[in-house]
């Protein structure tokens, strides 16, 4: 039996031109998104750059998460990647490319604040290729404003909804909301233990498999999500809204936060708008609704 293909042997080539497909177009000044993939996997990563040091609160749930720089209060770039633990190398690559963009300055305020989260996407493929440093660098070079590719793209290239024999290809989705001057964007990469459920309660992706006697499911599932708003929020408000949104996603993914999931939500504010007509709970409701839309847009029909 031959060894599975790996980055060291195959030398995969980053792909950033993805051709035609479903795209979320949005207006959020400063936000840029880059996607890079290894077709040889297939696997990939998705980077989000806020154009500034933005406030962040990270909510981690389920039994098998893995996040880099989870302790930070501020962030500039978030990198989502496949490849399980090995995919955290992509966030190191994103940081390296940001260092290059800053002429290799090591001044304290020039250090790129990059956080990464990963998902296990080896289930549908029979190789050991993962998003590495070069893929993370390629995603940074590919960043563009106002556009987010949806479906089996980037970090969601081999993501699935449900598990085992019931697993079906999912991917990444996004949605936009606005209330007065407040802008809200929700992004989700679905690689869930549970199924995707629409607003009528119907399962639209994945198939329930039921219990398998004598077997324990592997910890091989993760849903990654990010909400970014320009509304000013203090640390407690960020944390509260993030938790509200993350909990609400259980409407669109059932079951959610299982022991075999490693769900991670980033709640980010660029702190640009003071909107007295929109309190934090209502903002959370808008972001939660957008997140459900993002879940439903994550897979290609």
- Name residues whose C-beta falls within 8 Å of residue 165's C-beta, 6 or more positions apart in sequence: 207, 209
Count Cβ atoms below 10 Å from residue 289 Cβ, excluding itself.
Answer: 18
- Exposed/middle/buried for residue 273 (C-beta within 10 Å: 0-12, 13-18, 19+): middle
Classify residue 256 as exposed, middle or buried by CB count within 10 Å of its CB (0-12, 13-18, 19+).
buried
d(CA 300, CA 156): 11
State how far the Cα of 257 lies from the Cα of 210, in Å rounded to an integer: 17
Please tell me the distance from the alpha carbon of residue 188 to that of residue 246, in angstroms, as a whole number: 11
Question: Which residues lie closer than 8 Å to 28 by C-beta, 6 or more apart?
Answer: 145, 146, 176, 183, 185, 228, 230
Residue 68 corresponds to which tokens in the numbers above? 């880099």
Q: H-helix or E-strand containing 269?
A: strand 262-273
Q: In angstroms, rounded to a whole number, what is the distance separating the alpha carbons of residues 65 and 58?
A: 12
Query: Among residues 222, 223, 229, 270, which one is catalytic?
Result: 222
Dmax (CA) for the chain in angstroms is: 65
- Please state, in angstroms and rounded to a whole number, the distance separating the CA atoms of residues 118 and 115: 10
Does the annotation mark 46 as catalytic? Answer: no
Is the distance from CB of 86 to CB of 133 less than 8 angstroms?
no
Point out the residues that are catalytic: 222
């Amino acid at each position: 039996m031959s060894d599975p293909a790996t980055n060291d042997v195959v030398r995969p080539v980053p792909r950033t031109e993805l051709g035609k497909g479903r795209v979320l177009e949005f207006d959020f000044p400063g936000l840029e998104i880059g996607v890079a993939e290894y077709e040889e996997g297939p696997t990939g990563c998705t980077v989000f750059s806020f154009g500034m040091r933005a406030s962040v609160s990270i909510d981690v749930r389920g039994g098998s998460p893995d996040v880099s720089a989870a302790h930070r209060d501020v962030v500039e770039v978030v990198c989502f990647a496949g490849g399980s633990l090995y995919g955290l190398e992509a966030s190191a690559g994103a940081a390296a490319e940001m260092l290059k963009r800053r002429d290799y300055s090591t001044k304290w305020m020039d250090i790129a604040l990059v956080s990464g989260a990963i998902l296990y996407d080896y289930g549908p493929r029979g190789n050991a290729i993962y998003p590495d440093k070069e893929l993370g660098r390629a995603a940074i070079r590919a960043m563009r404003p106002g556009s987010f590719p949806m479906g089996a793209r980037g970090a969601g290239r081999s993501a699935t909804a449900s598990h085992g024999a019931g697993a079906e290809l999912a991917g990444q989705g996004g949605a936009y909301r606005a209330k007065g001057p407040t802008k809200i964007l929700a992004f989700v990469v679905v690689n869930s233990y549970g199924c995707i459920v629409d607003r009528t309660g119907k399962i639209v992706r994945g198939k329930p498999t039921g219990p398998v006697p004598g077997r324990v499911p592997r910890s091989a599932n993760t849903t990654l999500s990010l909400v970014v708003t320009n509304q000013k929020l203090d640390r407690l408000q960020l944390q509260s809204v993030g938790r509200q949104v993350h909990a609400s996603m259980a409407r669109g993914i059932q079951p959610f936060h299982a022991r075999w999931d490693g769900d991670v939500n980033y709640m980010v504010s660029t702190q640009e708008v003071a909107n007295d007509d929109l309190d934090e709970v209502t903002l959370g409701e808008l972001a939660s609704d957008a997140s459900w839309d993002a879940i439903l847009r994550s897979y290609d029909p």
